[in-house]
Amino acid sequence: GNSVTQMEGPVTLSEEAFLTINCTYTATGYPSLFWYVQYPGEGLQLLLKATKADDKGSNKGFEATYRKETTSFHLEKGSVQVSDSAVYFCALSETGNQFYFGTGTSLTVIP
Amino acid sequence: NAGVTQTPKFQVLKTGQSMTLQCAQDMNHNSMYWYRQDPGMGLRLIYYSASEGTTDKGEVPNGYNVSRLNKREFSLRLESAAPSQTSVYFCASSERELNTGELFFGEGSRLTVL
């Protein structure tokens, strides 16, 4: 079956630190991979995505590369800001009908 | 452009009471979803509707019913609420045919069952 495993949180970083949130997946076929972000009191919104192996998704300084050989889609940012404090979810979808989410990683960035 | 709108945003119920969560989207999407979010569990799919007139069970459908009233609206009903249904519920929609793969979420409905 399909599943997503992501790094347990919470994660606390100082401003301008480097961020990595690990995500690995299990899928029966060739899924699209996503990172969603949830700011406090809001719904989830798409941060970035990749639809095939070796694709790199990027947005707002965040990047993630679809690695088929390691079944991974790790989220990285070179220099985090206080405004990046949120919960980050890794997700996959094979059919476009069903999406499978990881448990979420809470990030707090302190000044 | 409102996107996905859910009502109510907050609700407190007593065990055994019933209620319906309403969801509407104005993006002309075919697919709509109901998720629940619980601490340490991430998002779990309750039901989804791939198109008007169809609904399918997700990972955790027990205790819930859904209605795809038309293309815009997808409601979630709790017939006899239980404390285990205390959660934050999110409605989402997507346009599968465009192959964007992106889900658009509402702001969530926080439900407490006493």
pLDDT in tens, B70-112: 999 999 999 999 999 999 999 999 886 555 578 999 999 999 9
Measure in Å the smallest separation between the Cα of B96 and chain A Cα atoms: 5
**pLDDT per position as a tens digit, B18-45:** 999 999 999 999 899 999 999 888 899 9
The whole-number pLDDT of residue A15 equals 97
CA distance B42 to A15: 26
The whole-number pLDDT of residue A64 equals 98
The whole-number pLDDT of residue A96 equals 67
CA distance A54 to A34: 14
CA distance A91 to A98: 10
A101 near B CB under 8 A: yes
A93 near B CB under 8 A: yes
Q: Write the residue in A43, A49, A96 that is nearest to B94 by C-beta.
A: A96
Nearest Cα to Cα of residue A23 among A84, A105, A95, A96: A105
CA dihedral sign, ordered A21, A88, A72, B61: positive
Q: Write the residue in A89, A95, A98 that is nearest to B45 by C-beta.
A: A98
Beta strand ranges found along chain B (DSSP E):
4-7, 10-13, 19-25, 31-38, 42-49, 56-57, 64-68, 74-78, 87-94, 104-105, 109-113
**pLDDT per position as a tens digit, A25-74:** 999 888 999 999 999 888 899 999 999 999 999 999 999 999 999 999 99
For A12-28, what is the mean pLDDT?
A: 96
Confidence of residue A91 (pLDDT cuts 50, 70, 90): very high
- Give yes or no for a cis peptide into B61 (omega within 30° of 0): no
